[in-house]
Amino acid sequence: MAKKELKMRAVVAPTETVIVSAYDKDGKADACTLAFYMVSSHVPPCVTIGINATQKRKTLKDMLETKAFVLGFPSINQVKETDYLGVESGYQTDKLVNIGFTTSPAETVYAPIINELALSLECEIVHTVTIGSHMQVTGEVKRIIADETILNERGRVVLEKLQPIIYDEEEGIYLGVGGKVSDAFRTGIALKKYLEDEKRG
């Protein structure tokens, strides 16, 4: 198939859209939308977010002062609020109040949980490193709090119930999650076994 070389950029589509929230030193909550988010460790559970350190980001300043943040997962019915939190700055106005989002203090770290989000991870900052324009902030997950309505009987998050917002940087749009394509691991293990059997003859 013919290939084309693309303009230089870090292609990050698709990513799950998250909302990171923090208190400033006066105890005021701010939050911003992020697409640079990844799971960075299973044990201990850690997540890493990337925030542009070359531009003024109030949430970044706040979280570095308090050494904590909450990572929240918005649903597709909150796409307007999510986009707004990514185009306005807490330096200009009280974004959370403007959109009617309320907060409660996290139990394990000094950071605000956004009550309206169905899934939130309370995180203590354990590492930062700046790569190019972005500071990578790694938080160790200290507590996970979720609406019962998004859980299955085993207490696991069901994506089809959470309905996360997928951000497509290539086209500048938000998408929902499609249906199941395959079982994870089992599909690869079946192919691995097949290839090994083939080799053995």
Ligand X SMILES: Cc1cc2nc3c(=O)[nH]c(=O)nc-3n(C[C@H](O)[C@H](O)[C@H](O)COP(=O)(O)O)c2cc1C
Distance CA 43, CA 10 (A): 28
Closest distance to ligand X from the beta carbon of 63 (Å)? 9
| Count of residues that bind ligand X according to CB under 6 A | 21
Give me the sign of the Cα torsion angle 111, 14, 127, 146: positive
Closest distance to ligand X from the beta carbon of 109 (Å)? 18
Decide: is 164 part of the binding site for ligand X (CB under 6 A).
no
Find out whether 108 and 124 touch, Cβ atoms under 8 Å.
Answer: yes
Q: Determine the 3-state secondary structure of 114 from DSSP.
A: strand
Binding mask 104-133 for ligand X (x = CB under 6 A): ------------------------------
Token pair 């089809």 in the structure block, residue: 160
Decide: is 59 part of the binding site for ligand X (CB under 6 A).
yes
Q: Which residues contact 145 (CB under 8 A, 6 or more apart)?
A: 113, 119, 120, 122
Distance CA 143, CA 35 (A): 22
* C-beta of 172 vs 201, nearer to ligand X: 172
Closest distance to ligand X from the beta carbon of 78 (Å)? 13
Find out whether 163 and 73 touch, Cβ atoms under 8 Å.
Answer: no
* C-beta of 16 vs 147, nearer to ligand X: 16
> Which stretch in 40-48, 79-87, 154-162, 189-197 sits in contact with ligand X by CB under 6 A?
79-87
Among 14, 24, 28, 89, binds ligand X (CB under 6 A): 89
* C-beta of 6 vs 87, nearer to ligand X: 87
Decide: is 57 part of the binding site for ligand X (CB under 6 A).
yes
Decide: is 66 part of the binding site for ligand X (CB under 6 A).
no
Q: Which residues contact 101 (CB under 8 A, 6 or more apart)?
A: 31, 81, 114, 115, 116
Binding mask 3-42 for ligand X (x = CB under 6 A): --------------x------------x-xxxxx------
Find out whether 152 and 158 touch, Cβ atoms under 8 Å.
Answer: yes
How many other CB atoms are found less than 10 A from the CB of residue 26? 6
Q: Which residues contact ligand X by CB under 6 A?
A: 17, 30, 32-36, 50-52, 57-59, 83, 86-91, 167
